[in-house]
Structure 1
Amino acid sequence: MTRVAIVGGARTPVAKMGRAYRDVHPADLLAVSIGAALSDAGVEAGRVDQALFGATGQAGGQAQNVGRNAWLAAGLPHEVPAMTMDAQCPSSHLAAHLGAATIASGDASVVVVGGVESLTRVPMFTTAQAGLDRPIPATLTERWDMPHQGESAERAADRYAISRRACDEYGVRSHQAAAAAWKAGRFDDEATFVRADGAPLLRSDEGVRADSDIVKASALSPVYRPDGVNTAANSSQLSDGSAALVLASEEMCERDGLSPLAWIRSATWVGNDPDIIFDGPVDATEKVLDRAGIRTEDIALAEVHEAYAVPVLIWQQHFGFDLDRINVDGGAISIGHPFGASGARQMLHLAHALRHAGGGLGLATMCGGGGVATATIIESAV
């Protein structure tokens, strides 16, 4: 099978829900990243075989295949098919996995992948509104509790003895790391701007708090339990944003002179306990490492999804991985979490972070609602 490369990508700065992108249609929000990703890769849109995107709130402006609508809204060729998928938070991770598998099988040479979420325009749980059947039937709750994700995070913290102090310290670290990354220009190569009247609506991630400190974090009340560990300071933010990657076969890179940013070495996803979903990245990581025939010691940098501080700390505790090599430029706690876009944003940044660090192998992993988790290993090409 052919090797698959990430040859370009782009993502919008992430906006707080209800703020900078409140007047931007989700399809237009995704169209911005698609166009910038193609430009970054140096690939003509007509050469693309297919496009795969993630979006979890498929209602309103994100209904009726928002990925296809975004492709057309960007003025790109109608001959290129596009689809939208929902695997909860790892949706655009899975889009990248499926795009890479399609190329590796020989059924495509170039695939655009990514995702979008506008929690402003399509609020969380819109698709589970009153008057319709609930997504979770009684036959499911007879077998599983299916608690709110916040309660799942509290249960995971109990199981793995994750303290409130550790969560607060991690949350502060995320904000400080993201602020330092923007200041140092480490997001510049991946950022593309949403404009109105020619001016960017947002020039950096809106939720990053450079002044975050442990005193402020410790003063906040827990959200889900009176004595819980999860607060606004150590949990992911509800956000609006989009991201896209261009994947290409090794043969396409050689034939068209494309410059790989990273090679996709291995990818997988797993199912895990839906009542305690936040140890899923551990299972996914073990599986992808086994498939790639490598160990955690071979990994230079890791991106572990910051749904809360809890899953990152569980993952770090299990593998004994150096915390200084996890989410080196922040994550969803600071950058924000536009659900359908977060996986692609994470993979794009990992590829650039490896380049900044001098190369090597990187691992990205995400947990997701319902008890699913993804993991991807990439190898820097620069």
Structure 2
Amino acid sequence: MSTQTSPQKESVLQKHDNDVVIVSAVRSAITKGRKGGFKDTKPELILAHVLRAAYTKADVDPTLIEDVAVGNCLLPGAGAGHARVAAIHAGIPIDASVNTVNRQCSSGLSAINQIANQIRVGQIDIGIGAGVESMTFGGFGSGGKASYSEEAMATQDAKDCLIPMGITSENVASDYGLSRQVQDEFAAKSFQKAAAAAKAGKFRDEIVPMKVKSVDAKTGEITEIVVAEDDGIRDGVTVESLSKLKPAFTKDGSTHAGNASQVSDGAAAVLLARRSVALRLGLPIIGKFVAAATVGVPPRIMGVGPAYAIPRVLALTSLSLSDVDFYEINEAFASQAIFSVQHLGIPFEKVNVNGGAIAMGHPLGCTGARQVATGLSVAKQTGGKVFVTSMCIGSGMGMAAVFVSEQ
């Protein structure tokens, strides 16, 4: 991690009473969709567990929580009813309001950004930005296709919004000359880093263990299990083992099940407060939200979003790429993650220190919040202070945010 501190970085590290600070950041384990630890657990229950953990871990009186924003992509009505049910079940009083946010893969980060901005302008003092996705129960791959008017689809960019995500990965690989070998090398490292981190217990502090019911597919027997570890992480993955997998989207393509993010279930929550309020109440302060930014990119290569969102948020904070100690860049596909890192010139060793979504999984609405919990863990483990989270977004967008660890 960088030991030099520029004037711009020093400015970001300073503490002010009106800062938006992070009181706690937690997540569930990330499990395989349809067959992992949460295959029989509805999303509102996973979310309720992390919402409760977000305030109990920091010993926050739930009556002080004024608003909860939940990122979600797949549930009917963007999950508004599910989020409200989860908040009530989590013990958050009914006079706390709830809403859901759907900016696809950045929904969890958008929820955090919303709560942070509400605190910043004085609408609330304490709130939770969260994200949840059950790709098992969320209708992923099972719902009917949306229909669009011919007039709206008259332009090519509008048509390109409907390109399957896997094909956009192939487009990025083709347009920017990213070989399968390069993608598989990146994916193998993601698995290797995540497996090593899991073995060393580096995810333990950020994961909320959950006792849930599991149904045996053959016998129908219901048992209780504790889900406390990411079950998509595989040990021993190598470039050679990945080379045996067939392309998933085109016959001669380079994107396959081993170098793309997994279909997953999970939730995460970040409890935010105004610094002066947190200090008055004696709450723990583990980090600070600094800024966030979004950007649009061509839909046919939607995965390049981080390459353009990261410079935008750094410009807002006057930080340089080298001022950032490490990056959490979502690995929707190896192709887009590699392009984004190479395009910006970020050293790969600064990216996804404990692995990313290729190894851990990508519950769509959850990941933006999950990366904040993971980023704070990485900061504590490495001594890093300033980190950036970023992700590409379906239909052609990117989002990035700057955080500071104060642990």
TM class, shorter-length = over 0.9
Partners of 2:62 and 2:91 within 8 A in 1: no
1:261-276 alignment, distance < 5 Å: 261-276=286-301
Partners of 1:305 and 1:311 within 8 A in 2: no
The residue that corresponds to 2:266 in the other structure is 241
1:1-382 alignment, distance < 5 Å: 2-19=18-35, 20-59=37-76, 63-127=79-143, 129=144, 133-134=146-147, 136-143=148-155, 144=157, 145-146=160-161, 147-196=163-212, 200-382=225-407
Identity of aligned residues (%): 31
Summarize deviations over 1:251-277 as a string: whole Å, max 9, x none.
112101122211112111112211211
State the alpha-carbon separation in 2 of the partners of residues 63 and 253 from structure 1: 30
Partners of 1:6 and 1:264 within 8 A in 2: yes
Summarize deviations over 1:17-61 as a string: whole Å, max 9, x none.
11221221211110011111111222111101100001101229x
What amino acid is the match of 1:174?
S
What amino acid is the match of 2:30?
V
State the alpha-carbon separation in 2 of the partners of residues 113 and 171 from structure 1: 29
Partners of 2:307 and 2:340 within 8 A in 1: yes
Distance change >3 Å, CA 44–CA 200, structure 1 → 2? farther
The more displaced of 19-28 and 196-205 is 196-205
- After TM superposition, give the deviation of residue 139 of structure 1 in Å: 3.2
- Indicate the RMSD between aligned Cα atoms, in angstroms: 1.7
Q: Give the gaps of 5 or more residues in structure 1.
A: none
| Count of equivalent residues | 377
TM superposition score normalised by structure 2: 0.89
Summarize deviations over 1:83-125 as a string: whole Å, max 9, x none.
1121111001100111111111111111111111111112314
State the alpha-carbon separation in 1 of the partners of residues 202 and 56 from structure 2: 19
TM superposition score normalised by structure 1: 0.95
What amino acid is the match of 1:180?
A
What amino acid is the match of 1:278?
G
Distance change >3 Å, CA 64–CA 260, structure 1 → 2? closer
- After TM superposition, give the deviation of residue 300 of structure 1 in Å: 0.6
Partner SS, residue 242 of structure 1: strand
- After TM superposition, give the deviation of residue 310 of structure 1 in Å: 1.3
- After TM superposition, give the deviation of residue 75 of structure 1 in Å: 2.9
- After TM superposition, give the deviation of residue 63 of structure 1 in Å: 4.0
Q: Give the gaps of 5 or more residues in structure 2.
A: 1-16, 214-222
Partners of 1:282 and 1:315 within 8 A in 2: yes
State the alpha-carbon separation in 2 of the partners of residues 6 and 311 from structure 1: 29
State the alpha-carbon separation in 2 of the partners of residues 211 and 142 from structure 1: 48
State the alpha-carbon separation in 2 of the partners of residues 245 and 178 from structure 1: 22
